Amino acid sequence: MRRTVLIDAPSNLGLRPPAPGTVPGCAKLAGALREQGLLHRLGALEGGVVVPPRYDLTGWREGVDGDFNAAAMAGYTRKLAGRVEDRVRSGDFPVLLGGDCSILLGAVLGLRRLGRYGVAYLDGHGDFRHPGNVAVSGPLGAAAGEGVAQITGRGQADLTDIDGLRPYVRDEDLSVLGIRDADENQAELTELGIRHTPVGEIRRLGPETVARTVLDHLQGPALDGFWIHLDADVLDPSVMPAVDSPDPGGLLTDELRSLLAPLAASPRCVGVNLTIYDPDLDPDAKGAALLADLLEDVLAPGDVLAPEDALAQP
């Protein structure tokens, strides 16, 4: 049985401030879920904290300077990559509590050092803004909205080519799941052959069927394993409003659970990160309770399946 290790990665370096002079509250995500007793509920080992640098937009110029906090983010990515690399090499299953989506850079860099890994990218948005499509996706700046582009090698080299390892994830080794049906990045993702399944298609096919299709690919012999990126905004704001972009048309809790559980249960899954939930927007901690329950449901001990059983989940 794999050993789950809980690691805090409370970086908000890749997200725009919610208001002038403030910082994104998603850095408090890890603390909020730990208050829900997540360490004990997962039967996890304590993996500690990877402490991020200070959030500082002083002097940054939109449209001129690329991503803000880039130098700090690159240094943090290397630190987090080392932690993930060590844990996966030891056979552990790291659960990273963010933080914003830029923490995924650290996870995939660590895995890239070990071999060839895929990513199941569960997110409400395509996160494919890069220098070649700013006319469609808007100006560069917030790395949290550039995740799919950056992990596949698109964007400034100080974030996308650390240690000369661009791309951290190949286009064909990625499955983007749960984006809104009208997501602006779908046409480009289709053109590039990056697999993506919006909410409407997940509902039409059924989340279990979609999970089987994803596993059929990510458990293939070309890959050494895969990572799960889970952004809380994949959920509909009717159940998860405490995110920076609570766009309607997301998955409901049971749909996400049915999609996520077979992926997390696969023995080829080597870890997961959770991002974007903002405790500042959730004074009653209902969102924290929902996410802790969800992670317990899909990651509790005893849920790892044999490869053939993971593929055969109904």
What's the pLDDT tens digit per position in 248-301?
Answer: 999 999 999 999 999 999 999 999 999 999 999 999 999 999 999 999 999 988
Please report, for residues 48, 206, 219, 311, the alpha-carbon distance to residue 7 in angstroms, rounded to integers and kept in the order given: 5, 32, 25, 28
- What would the pLDDT profile of 163-214 be if each residue is shown by its tens digit? 999 999 999 999 999 999 999 999 999 999 999 999 999 999 999 999 999 9
Specify which residues 269 forms β-bridges with. 226
- Ramachandran area for residue 72 (φ above 0: left; ψ -120 to 50: alpha; else beta): alpha
Pairing state between β 117-122 and 3-8: unpaired
Percentage of the chain modeled with pLDDT above 70: 96
Longest dimension (CA), the chain: 54
For tokens 């596949």, name the residue: 152
The model's pTM: 0.95
**Angstrom distance (rounded) from CA 92 to CA 90:** 6
Contact of 263 with 211, CB cutoff 8 Å:
yes
Contact of 303 with 264, CB cutoff 8 Å:
yes
pLDDT at 310 over 80: no
Buried residues in 192-206 as b, exposed as e (16+ CB within 10 A) = eebbbbbbeebeeee
- What would the pLDDT profile of 56-106 be if each residue is shown by its tens digit? 999 999 989 999 999 999 999 999 999 999 999 999 999 999 999 999 999
Average pLDDT over residues 38-45: 97
Please give the pLDDT value at position 308.
Answer: 44
Q: Which two tokens stand for residue 217?
A: 């690919």
Please give the pLDDT value at position 302.
Answer: 60
State the average pLDDT for the chain.
Answer: 95
Average pLDDT over residues 131-144: 92
**Angstrom distance (rounded) from CA 124 to CA 198:** 9
Cα-based angle 66, 74, 279 (whole degrees, multiple of 5): 90
Cα radius of gyration (the chain): 18
